[in-house]
Amino acid sequence: MAVNALQPGYTGEVKDRVELFHGNHLIYIGWDQHMMICAPVALPLPPTMPFGALISDVLPTTAFAAHPDWPRIDWSQVEWLRSGKPFKPDPGKSLADNGLGHKSALRLRTPGLDGIGATGS
């Protein structure tokens, strides 16, 4: 039973169907142990965008860039998680080909950078 409803067989309208986002996919991105940025960000991105462009063109325009650790990130050392599991993205391939579809959650870890005052902030 997916809902307890007065009317048997009731289904609800899915409010965030991919076709409502004008060709984009919604991608969530969080930076572990950097809670000054109060929450992961949500970005509508073309599924064809190369993963490398996400790093070089998109992330610098987000709130992440305001964090004092931002300029110190060594991108070759960054660890990535997709749906909470480690994975190695291919920067040349598209977001979709990296398995990042609509409403995927992506996390980055920057070992050695522990936030403001090394507090995870």
Partner 1 sequence: MTDKTTAAAAPKKLSLKAKYAQLTRGLGWETTYQPPDKVFPQTHFEGIKIHDWEKWEDPFRLTMDAYWKYQAEKEKKLYAIIDAFQQNNGHLNVSDGRYVNTVKLFLTGISPEEYSAHRMFAMLGRNFAGVGPQIAAQMQSIDELRHAQTQIHTISQYNKYFNGMHDFRHMHDRVWYLSVPKSYFEDAMTAGPFEGIVAISFSFEYVLTNLIFMPFMSAAAYNGDMATVTFGFSAQSDESRHMTLGIECIKFLLEQDPGNVPIIQRWIDKWFWRGYRLLTLVSMMMDFMVPKKVMSWKEAWDMYFVQNGGALFRDLERYGLRMPKYWEQTVVAADRLSCEAWNTFYNYAAAANFNPWCPTAEDMDWMSQKYPGTFDKYYRPRFEHYRELEKQGKRFYNTTLPMLCQTCQIPLVFSEPDDPTQTCYRESDYNGMKYHFCSDGCKDIFDHEPEKYVQAWLPVHQIYQGNCFKPGTDPTAKDFNPLAAVLEYYNFGPGDNMDYAGSPDETNWLKWKGLAKSGPLKMAS
Please tell me the distance from the alpha carbon of residue 81 to that of residue 31, in angstroms, as a whole number. Answer: 10
Give me the torsion for CA of 115, 41, 66, 114, rounded to 10°.
10
Can residue 40 be called a binding residue for partner 1 (CB under 8 A)? yes
In the complex, least distance from residue 41 CB atom to partner 1, rounded to whole angstroms = 4
In the complex, least distance from residue 56 CB atom to partner 1, rounded to whole angstroms = 17
CA-based nearest residue to 26, from 85, 86, 84, 96 = 96
Find the binding residues for partner 1 in span 51-70 (CB under 8 A): 62-64, 66, 68
User: Which of these segments, 42-50, 69-77, 89-97, binds partner 1 (CB under 8 A)?
Assistant: 42-50
Can residue 112 be called a binding residue for partner 1 (CB under 8 A)? no
- Count Cβ atoms below 10 Å from residue 119 Cβ, excluding itself: 10
- Note whether 37 and 67 are within 8 A (CB): yes
User: Which of these segments, 7-15, 47-55, 72-80, 90-98, binds partner 1 (CB under 8 A)?
Assistant: 7-15
Can residue 80 be called a binding residue for partner 1 (CB under 8 A)? no
In the complex, least distance from residue 57 CB atom to partner 1, rounded to whole angstroms = 14
User: Please, what's the largest Cα pairwise distance for the chain?
Assistant: 57
